[in-house]
Structure 1
Amino acid sequence: MSQIVIISGSPTPGSRLNGIIERVESNWKEKGIEVGHIRVADLPAEALLHANFKDESILAALAQVEAASGVVIASPVYKASYTGILKAFLDLLPQTGLKGKATLPLFIGGTIAHLLSLDYALKPVLSVLGSRNILGGVFAIDQWVQRLDNGGFELSDELRERLDRSADELAEEVAWLGVRANGNGSQA
């Protein structure tokens, strides 16, 4: 079975980013794709900041990334870049920690002016980590994700469509990587 891991760099439990993550995750689960989560804010802060590779939580998170065929990098945008806690986690990945993996960025920010944070802040780091298959990603504006009274989220029609297309694209890439890993160069 294919596996995708979602790395969430939001420091806020009620972040609108969760609405975006829930949408793509439900898409993959409908396809029978196993999805794991790393909520960087839930990792022990001291172990994260001191790069404690003996910490069980850090080791478990790194093992999830290593085992995954697809990696989602999700973050709110602050000051034209992804969050500092996400950067702290990415710094713990081995130099080739994303080699052979398809990566999908999902960002949310207050204004479209932060759109280029995907290309100028995140993609160079993913490339340095060995990712050669970085999908286009989705950038959402806060107002496209509404918090509901019941704790859920409502996404704009356009955002749902874009997320569905990106989720499908990552699922296809992960399936292709699985076929390639099994030694069959052609996709069935």
Structure 2
Amino acid sequence: MELNYNLSEIFTSEPFQRLDRAQLARFNPRKFWCVQKSIDTLGQLSTEAQGLKRILTTYEKVVNHAEDQIIYLMWQRHPSKTSSSIVIGMLKIGRKHLYLLDESQRKFEEEPLCILDFYVHSSVQRRGNGHKLFDYMLRQESTSATSIAIDRPSDALLQFLEKFYELKKPVWQSTNFVVFPEFFEGKKTS
């Protein structure tokens, strides 16, 4: 997605930028409109791609949410337009207090890192961008794919997790979160 703004003027790292609530608040939309536009547009496109009725991710929702959420934005400089950037995708995460059941219906009370929204722009899908973005997030958060919970994953996301992380047999929860059997390894029941 082309953005008529050179993100390298405000972001310190390319191609990934980790944005928590405090950083987003510093990027006030009146001055740094491009940050809000990137997040809001990708959030809208993610909603459409998943066939959802309401938008999960907006700049305002992340800044004003009671729980801390983090957005990982993947972007690059435009190859020929110095005043533009290309926004590739975003990944929204946060911790949630969850009551979980494993495959044997044993109860667990956990507060895992959760994937709340994940989208790579349709023009740059199937090029490894989603895998790069997901791997970057895992490294930054010092976690593994087996240790996370996913909120209402699409079939495409489940296939992605199986292909790149060998996560099979999703364990669906009544809350529509998904974890995998490996999530429960070494954990004590509540």
Q: Same fold (TM over 0.5)?
A: no
**Which structure is higher in RCO with an 8 Å CA cutoff and minimum separation 6?**
1
TM-score normalised by the chain length of structure 1: 0.33
TM-score normalised by the chain length of structure 2: 0.33
Higher strand proportion: 2
Higher helix proportion: 1
